[in-house]
Amino acid sequence: MPGNSAYRVWRRLVVSLALVLVAAACGGDSRVSVAIGNTDGLPRDLPGDAAEPVLERAFAQLAFSQPVFLLQAPSDASRWYLLEKGGAIFRFANDPQAFGTELFADLAPLVESAPGEAGLLGMAFHPAFAQNGEVFVSYTAPPASADFVLESRISRFRSPDGGLSLDLASEQILLRLDQPFANHNGGHIAFGPDGFLYLGFGDGGSGGDPLGNGQNTQTLPGALLRIDVDGAVPYAIPPTNPFAAGGGRAEIFAFGLRNPWRWSFDRANGDLWLGDVGQNQWEEIDRIVSGGNYGWNIREGAHCFESLSCETAGLIDPVAEYSHAEGCSVTGGYVYRGAQVPALFGTYVYGDFCSGRVWGLPAAGTEPGVLFESGLNLSSFAEDGDGELFLLDFTSGGIFRIIAIP
């Protein structure tokens, strides 16, 4: 889903061939044939005799068209909501034998999804959804001006029936962001444990950040934003935001990002983990702190971008990175806090869209290790109410979950 040069297109073709075999293997059995990482592939502080994580088809009778995100409503594990790039949102029962879906909303008339990284990109339920029915959606729309290619929107909608449907007439657009190029739209949104809504946007697109947005705190592209959707209309600024008193756009929480594609909060301690898609050499995982500068476009990962040396003072190193010998577009995941795979407890699990490789990085910060080769186009991870992890395959449209076998 996140774009990253012609190299990604070539990788996609290679991975697509593998997906034909994977899809065939899913026909009669929910267990997916993946190359399981051996003990040496597990993160170094995990026990060597631990049960190995594998992928299993979670809902064998369901498949979607270009799925990009999966989530549950707060304190309601009875059903799932799945977003398709084209603008549809489906709901279905949280039952491995589920065989049907219901349309929650069709935003296709609002969404511009033709460019590869455009479309319906994110959704978040208000923490008090059970009381107020509020749902927040991130998508790209046709531009308001011919000077731009797209417009990114963050909108508030209401569900009048407890999550059965979304009232499209209730849309309130909170934020519009003009996009000068068709790529690097970011688009993920999530509520933090502080009750504020976090929004992630790419640097505005093209290649190499030609507009210099990543290091410009006076612009919103290339940054992670934080807003208070309850404090004012359309939103208020949390007073603890790093530029709330001036010196930059008040919405900015952290900056120096190229194209954040999926980030999450550790449910145990609130730490914010983010996958930032690289240019053409390095993919990175960042642990985000308020006011942090994560280096783009001075650096790509922990490496100077297009120069032999660069000024690194004030820049925060990624907690993990990998080269394009191992993949070409990072998909951020979650710190595993479930019970079904004890060996992964406390491990940040993330993957690559192109290669399908999945890594585990212990939250303590030791070296990551390869968990398995999925053979999937990993568009997103998901976390259920119990902390168990799921993966979406953009190409086959399947949903997979991580389990353990002895």
Q: What is the 3-state secondary structure (H, E, C) of the chain?
A: CCCCHHHHHHHHHHHHHHHHHHHHHCCCCCECCCEECCHHHCCCCCCCCCCEEEEEECCCCCCCCCEEEEEEECCEEEEEEEEECCCEEEEEECCCCCCCCEEEEECCCCCCCCCCCCCEEEEEECCCHHHHCEEEEEEEECCCCCCCCEEEEEEEEECCCCCCCCEEEEEEEEEEEEECCCCCCCCCEEECCCCCEEEECCCCCCCCCCCCCCCCCCCCCCEEEEEECCCCCCCECCCCCCCCCCCCCCCEEEECCCCEEEEEECCCCCCEEEEECCCCCEEEEEEECCCCECCCCCEECCEECCCCCCCCCCCCCCCEEEECCCCCCEEEEEECCCCCCHHHCCEEEEEECCCCEEEEEECCCCCCEEEEECCCCEEEEEECCCCCEEEEECCCCCEEEEEEEC
pLDDT score of 362: 92
pLDDT score of 1: 66
pLDDT score of 33: 34
pLDDT by residue for the chain (406 residues), tens only, comes to 666 543 343 333 333 333 333 333 333 344 443 333 333 344 434 444 457 889 999 999 999 999 999 999 999 999 999 999 999 999 999 999 999 999 999 999 999 999 999 999 999 999 999 999 999 999 999 999 999 999 999 999 999 999 999 999 999 999 999 999 999 999 999 999 999 999 999 999 999 999 999 999 999 999 999 999 999 999 999 999 999 999 999 999 999 999 999 999 999 999 999 999 999 999 999 999 999 999 999 999 999 999 999 999 999 999 999 999 999 999 999 999 999 999 999 999 999 999 999 999 997 777 899 999 999 999 999 999 999 999 999 999 999 999 998 7
pLDDT score of 50: 57
Domains, the chain, with CATH or none:
5-405 (2.120.10.30)
